[in-house]
Amino acid sequence: MSIEHFLDNSISSWMAGVGKHSDIVMSTRIRLARNLNGYRFPLAFTEDEAHKIDQSVSATLLDASDELQMQFSSIHIKDVSELSRQVLVEKHLISPKLANSPMTGSVLLSNDESVSVMVNEEDHIRIQCLFPGLQIQEAYAQADVLDRVLDKELSYAFDEQFGYLTSCPTNTGTGLRASVMMHLPALTMTKQMNRIVTIISRLGMVVRGIYGEGSEALGNVYQVSNQTTLGKSEEDILADLQSITEQIIQKEREARDALLKHSANTLEDRLYRSLGTLSFARIMATDEAARCLSDVRLGIDIGLIEDVDVSILNECMVFMQPGFLQKYAGTSLNTSERDMFRAKLLRERLQKEEKQKTKGEESE
Amino acid sequence: MICENCKQRPAKVTVTQVHNGEHFERHYCEVCANSLHPFYVEYKQDPLSLHQLLSNWFSQTEQQPMQQKQQKNTIACDECGWSIQRFLDEGKFGCANCYNSFRPQLPNVFKRLHNGNMKHIGKAPGALGEKIAIKKRIEAIRSQMKDAIDTESFEEAAKLRDEARDLESQLSTGGDQTDVN
Ligand SMILES: [Zn+2]
Ligand SMILES: [Zn+2]
């Protein structure tokens, strides 16, 4: 499949708005870091080493497509334009580090974009599985299958004491980073996030804004992930993340109920204003767009706003980024041009919903 | 360094921008980085804090005689040539063999990064990994067996015992065939 398939469409399978607790958990991601024996890590290796690693990892995965029942497209980063790389970054299919690497590297993508294997990022191999909703076990099972396929053909760098050897000591051991991306508007509005961030950090987990840092996460989208990778088994890491995620979901639901109970009118006014802004504004900066999208998504989730698709937040957060906007515009845009084009795309996205709605009513 | 945008807060985030094929590095505070490049910044690891952590650990050993400290600083990996000082500066290893070269120093580093943990207890690759997986299954069966005995389901317990025995024999013959080194 050509790279255009992955660039043209802002929608990936994880954005579908399905899966368990999908009104709060947007997606689940598993990442495994692995390195091969006999080659230095990407920070220290030569172009010759990079090339050999790329060839053997890519060949192994492409050969295993039957066994995995998964077709991969191999994309060599060096063959891809700067703008296209940026789009792949904005879709979370590759990292900025791989996009900017001067060495040979590639990404192997499954057609539905749920699996991406980066070769020669910070480590030789980064297996990533991205599932919609809360599916920690399912996503890990998928990553584990890929890991076993690679393990059969290649020789992993491993040490009895330290486990899987990785470039960064924060990944040593299991090399596993499990994370869930959550939409937590009510906890943010009720100013509870700081407290939650503090508590969670004491449990060996981290909370970050996935589109931003700290407690002021853009679009109220947060990522919760494990920090400890050494001295804890994969099962325990996943179980702990699952239990913390469920507790946060519970707290978010309680906060939503409390808002509805005590300030329904104010909430309703705010959410509809945001819908109005998204539908009619002519200039839209990223932070305002993110805030409005979060409001509309909350409105959908609590049953206030109908006829708008739940995937709106997932999808728009991706396509309103600079790389995507310029890809759609077909030209480079400065900041104020971007703000206008962003407003236009968001209006069109909502009008599309509106048209489908009236069409549906006519046919009834 | 001061943030290039507000010129007030300290710069904590480096954003690499690409313009007409040229790379530019911009240094912003966290506030400005969020508003200017909310999506582009890679926050996954904070190299600053990791670096700080590592150097803090290193300065704690400063009480040692100067000579010994310098010697420690110059230990180098014979595979990639990185010194332990470079490892501490970058916060990254140069190759897998660095773990061997710096082994005595590492437990202290890991203890700080991983909640006091120093030893891997998870999955393992290859034949070793299969062995560990079998051992885990045996443990699980044993605990099921205990439960079965407690509830006086002796038939079930006997079945589980046989299952565990099968796995155990698999473990010993498997160990002979594939020598784990
Ligand atoms: Zn600033
Ligand atoms: Zn080394």
3-state SS, residue B47: helix
* C-alpha B138 – ligand 2 centre gap (Å): 37
Where do we find the tokens 């000591």?
A169
Q: Which amino acid is at A14?
A: W
Nearest neighbour of B39 by CB, restricted to A37, A97, A321: A321
Question: Residues A141-197: pLDDT tens digits?
Answer: 999 999 999 999 999 999 999 999 999 999 999 999 999 999 999 999 888 888 888
Say if A294 is an interface residue toward chain B (CB within 8 Å). no
Q: How far is CA A359 from CA A303, A309, A349, A363, in A?
A: 22, 15, 16, 6
Dist CA A267 CA A33 (whole Å) = 43
Nearest neighbour of B90 by CB, restricted to A40, A43, A160: A43
- Taking only residues 117 to 176 of chain B, the set having a beta carbon closer than 8 angstroms to any beta carbon of chain A reads 117-126, 128-129
3-state SS, residue B129: helix
Using CA atoms of A294, A297, A302, A308 in order, give the dihedral in degrees to the nearest 10. Answer: 150
Distance of CA A311 to the CA centre of its chain: 14
Tokens of A205: 């987990």
Q: In sequence order, what DSSP letters do the residues of A248-260 get, joined into one string?
A: HHHHHHHHHHHHH
Dist CA A54 CA B22 (whole Å) = 26
What's the half-sphere exposure (Cβ side, CA atoms, 13 Å) at A239?
5
Q: What pLDDT band is residue B19 in, cutting at 50, 70 and 90?
A: low
Q: Tell me chain A's radius of gyration from C-alpha atoms.
A: 21
Helix axes A286-301, A312-319, angle to 10 degrees: 170
CB-CB contact of B32 with B3 (8 Å): yes
CB-CB contact of A312 with A349 (8 Å): yes
Where do we find the tokens 């990996």?
B77
Dist CA B91 CA A167 (whole Å) = 9
Average pLDDT by consecutive 10-residue portion of chain A (364 residues)? 70 71 92 97 96 96 90 92 90 91 94 94 96 94 95 94 96 97 93 86 84 66 94 94 95 93 90 94 92 94 87 83 86 91 91 60 48
Q: For this complex, say whether ipTM is above 0.90.
A: no
Dist CA A278 CA A273 (whole Å) = 9
Say if B114 is an interface residue toward chain A (CB within 8 Å). yes
Say if A141 is an interface residue toward chain B (CB within 8 Å). no
Question: Residues A228-276: pLDDT tens digits?
Answer: 999 999 999 999 999 999 999 999 999 999 999 888 899 999 999 999 9
3-state SS, residue A116: strand
